[in-house]
Amino acid sequence: MDIKSIIDKIYETSEATIDEITAILASKETDYLFSVADHTRKEYCKDKIHLRGIIEFSNYCRCECLYCGIRCHNRSLQRYRMELDEIVETAKAAYEIGYKTIILQSGEDLWYTREKISSLIRRIKALGDVAITLSLGERDYEDYKQWKQDGADRYLLKHETADEDLYNRLHPHSSFKKRLQCLRWLKKLGYQPGSGFMIGLPGQNLTTIAKDILLLKELDVDMAGIGPFLPHPATPLGENHAGSGLLTLKALAVARILLKRTHLPATTALEVQNRNNRENAFHAGANVIMRKVQASKYRQLYDIYPKKSIVEKDLKQEKAEIESYIQKIGRQIADDRGDAIPLI
Ligand code: SF4
């Protein structure tokens, strides 16, 4: 089968094999791939882009992920924790200017106990009709269960790579099996689960990426972040090459054609790597964008991968800029919360 026929088959059946995905990723023919992905996005997600406000409230982390700049062994990083009142005030400010989803993200920081996170969820939900996505890493089943009861809507926990050996090498503090177990708990508890993975991890190949995409389907996630690996100099992988932006866009496009209704962001890592990638992602299947809403003094310190220095801007001004950009590319900001897209 030629590449166009494979793409058509995946679009028609929503099924794919490892070999089919690998062939698409290896092919230089990208125009047809991106046009089918864009068509699929329009069919299932319309022209709406969901804007999510993310509060990165702590850069303390107990984990040792070999690629991450805020891993516990990076002693050169200045650490911060936002107070609960400050987090709620930040969420309130974002909600009042129109953010309908607040993502609460941090390293795996157990200073924020089950009770503290519960209190945060309840206080933010009391602001109005706002969705909460948690992105707090691997926690106990009872934590996840309590936070769902408190009103959390979604949970983002990227699987990072579907290659079990590679996963275990990159995450010495945990295991691939534990990661999958957490993702399955989240699904069972009724969260809208999110996962995702990186392109360009040392030791990864196209077969791994095909497995990554198929794992998203198997886990039946409602959102998935696909971004390039960006080496951070203060990590053991600091000397490696960054992942390819083009390959990331191709993986995103295949994910859209296969998964249909999953929310797929134009990831920040893709945008940091190359500003044009943001627009390219919106033409390759993406329908979501996230904006940091915590104070500028914290943004630079949430240093998972290297980025340009942060320019101090007012929250409203930032939102107006992103709205104007979205209009410029012919899309509109969605006016709903952007929950899981139902099957049609
Ligand atoms: S990737 Fe997440 S869990 Fe791993 S070190 Fe970074 S913040 Fe911690």
Q: What is the pLDDT of residues 128-175, one digit of tens each?
A: 999 999 999 999 999 999 999 999 999 999 999 999 999 999 999 999
Q: Please report the pLDDT score of residue 342 as a whole number.
A: 80
Ligand 1 centroid vs 183 CA: distance in angstroms? 16
**Which residue is closest in CA terms to ligand 1's atom 6?**
68
Give residues (CB < 6 A) around ligand 1. Answer: 61, 63, 65, 68, 70-71, 107-108, 137, 304
Question: DSSP per residue over 151-218, as a string?
Answer: T--EEE---B-S-HHHHHHH-TTS-HHHHHHHHHHHHHTT-EEEEEEEES-TT--HHHHHHHHHHHHH
Q: Whose CA is nearest to atom 7 of ligand 1?
A: 107
For residues 94 and 107, is the Cβ–Cβ distance under 8 A?
no
Rounded distance from Cα 5 to ligand 1 centre (Å): 40
CA distance 121 to 152: 6
Domain ranges of the chain: 20-333
Are the C-beta atoms of residues 170 and 67 closer than 8 Å to each other?
A: yes
Q: Which class would CATH give 20-333?
A: alpha beta
Q: Closest Cα to atom 4, ligand 1: which residue?
A: 65
pLDDT tens digits, 220-270: 999 999 999 999 999 999 999 999 999 999 999 999 999 999 999 999 999
pLDDT band for 213, please (50, 70, 90 cuts): very high
3-13 helix and 18-26 helix, angle to the nearest 10 degrees: 130
Among the atoms of ligand 1, which is closest to the Cα of residue 137? Answer: 3
Q: Is 69 left (phi over 0), alpha (psi -120 to 50) or beta?
A: alpha
Helix (H, G, I), strand (E, B) or coil at 34: helix
